[in-house]
Amino acid sequence: MSFPEGFLWGGAVAANQVEGAWNIEGKGPSVADVATYKPNADVKDYKTHVSISMEAIEKAMKDTDDTYYPKRRGIDFYHRYKEDLALLAEMGFKVFRLSIAWSRIFPTGEEKEPNEEGLAFYEDLLKEMRRLNIEPLVTLSHYEMPLHLATKYNGWTDRRVVEYFVRFAKACFDRLGKYVKYWLNFNEVDSIIRHSFITAGIVPELCGEKGEPACCYQALHHQLVAAGMAARMLREQWPEAQMGCMLTKLMTYPRTCAPEDVAATQKKNLENMFYADVQVFGEYPRMILRDLEKRGFEIRMEPGDLEILKEGTVDFVSFSYYMSMTESVDPNAERTPGNTVLGVKNPYLESSDWGWQVDPVGLRISLIELYDRYKKPLFIVENGIGAKDTMETDGSVHDTYRIEYFRRHFREMEKAIDDGVELMGYTSWAPIDLISASTNQMSKRYGFIYVDQDDMGNGTLKRSRKDSFYWYQKVIRTNGADMD
Ligand code: BG6
């Protein structure tokens, strides 16, 4: 058993969680720039962390400080990317996943021409990656869009945003296409129903009588159409390039073998996969449309939309995988947090510091299930453990728990490959400590590289190698043969 030759080992980040530099060189405010660190909220209470209102947005925009808006400062990757890429190259990275901040290219989203300084930044970054022989994997939209599109149009609920996004995608393909072979459209496209503002710029109070869920499904349709248009455009312009979709793989098992639990679980898993179904098969699953109809949601489609979905399918399927959960019809079943979800607890699994249930075998099951369903190459583009790290007085960080997490997941990947799954690569989340997407904490650390910064933004931002840095370096050097 072994990883295929040319397997793409690496790591993944998102612009809004690392770059900082939120209001310079022409960048406009994005939805991520008003995301608040709420020190008194329970870290497991995602609803509180991701909640938003027009009042909160106005308050945030009056405040130019970044103390309570940590994504404004990130880890200053914008100015330190050369140092960071050098560390990734030292680990032997074959691929690095990053995203493009839309509001750096089109500050409000409505401009006709892109911001040159924004494009120049990404061009320099990609050139540096090419120089270091690191393959870029670029996400067009990862949890940020111009704030102006959120407040003026209620984000993706408005059809006009499709046109603005396509203009943004075109600007990226025109200027950056020559450096990029692998693109992703929307990060965790399914997450719209969990945090509609972060994913699609929806401010619930602007949804009016229709309510937030109805807005979400309409906005989702617009994103799927925009993804289809972007895929068609990429294919015409850069025939060698590939477009992938990106799904949060929320693996759910039945809590018991009672048929009611199994049926409830089946429904959950089908709901989770339908977003990728549309992008792989080019059409909405009949059962999902039926379900939306029964719940009173009507998706407005324009003439030509179904053709766009049909023609704009993806070349590969990527996904994030952190944890699994179970489902039960018992209303009293004990619940536990996961990746911005609350699931029924699995008594066979241990949990991370943030309560996410660690399940390496679930990754193997996911790989087999997704490959069997889609028959497309797969790419694991996020997987990792958020933990509280301690830096010793000599500057070392002994993160054995992280090494153990990765080792157990890699062994399961190996088994899936041995079973015949076509796996293109793996990018850990995240190779360097960054701001958490859900809680805006810095203290929830994922990296092989430690960044000296606390939750309030104090620290030197100095980068240091954790024990896991050297371990991952060895794994990559031996193409997974030595994981000890
Ligand atoms: C994924 C997101 O769902 O989970 C990332 O794509 C995010 O942006 C990651 O950072 C981990 O979640 P969190 O909330 O711990 O940062």
Residue 235's pLDDT band, with cuts at 50, 70 and 90, is very high
Q: How far is the CA of 302 from the centre of ligand 1 (A)?
A: 33
- pLDDT tens digit sequence for 324-377: 999 999 999 999 988 888 999 999 999 999 999 999 999 999 999 999 999 999
pLDDT at residue number 42: 85
Q: Is 286 exposed, middle or buried (0-12, 13-18, 19+ CB in 10 A)?
A: exposed
Q: What is the dihedral of CA 68, 72, 76, 82, to 10 degrees?
A: 160
In this prediction, residue 210 has a pLDDT band, given cuts at 50, 70 and 90, of confident
Q: What is the pLDDT of residues 91-104, one digit of tens each?
A: 999 999 999 999 99
| pLDDT over 70 percentage in the chain | 100
pLDDT digits (tens, 9 = 90+) for 255-284: 999 999 999 999 999 999 999 999 999 999
* pLDDT classification of 254: cutoffs 50, 70, 90: very high
- Specify the pLDDT at position 441: 95
Cα-based distances in Å from 376 to 233, 317, 371, 479: 20, 7, 6, 22
Cis peptide leading into residue 171 (ω within 30°) = no
pLDDT in tens, 9-45: 999 999 999 999 999 999 999 999 999 998 888 878 8
Distances (CA, A) of 180 to 37, 117, 130, 291, 316: 34, 19, 9, 38, 15
Mean pLDDT of 290-314: 96
Average pLDDT on 183-198 reads 96
From the CA of 384, give the closest atom in ligand 1. Answer: 11
Residue to mutate, 382, 402, 443, ligand 1, most ligand atoms under 8 Å from C-beta: 382
Distance 39 CA to ligand 1 centre (A): 18
Write out pLDDT tens, residues 127-171. 999 999 999 999 999 999 999 999 999 999 999 999 999 999 999
Pull the structure tokens for residue 135: 């393959």
Model confidence over 49-87: pLDDT tens digits? 889 999 999 999 999 999 999 999 999 999 999 999 999
Ligand 1: nearest atom to the Cα of 439 = 14
Ligand 1 centroid distance, CA of 219 (Å): 21
State the virtual CA torsion across 147, 152, 155, 160 in degrees, nearest 10: -120
Q: How many angstroms is it from 276 CA to the middle of ligand 1?
A: 19
pLDDT tens profile 400-445: 999 999 999 999 999 999 999 999 999 999 999 999 999 999 999 9
Question: Mean pLDDT score of the chain, rounded to an integer?
Answer: 97
Structure letter (DSSP) for residue 133: T
**Ligand 1 first shell, C-beta below 6 A:** 14, 17, 143, 187-188, 248, 320, 339, 382, 386, 429, 436-439, 444
pLDDT at 1 over 70: no
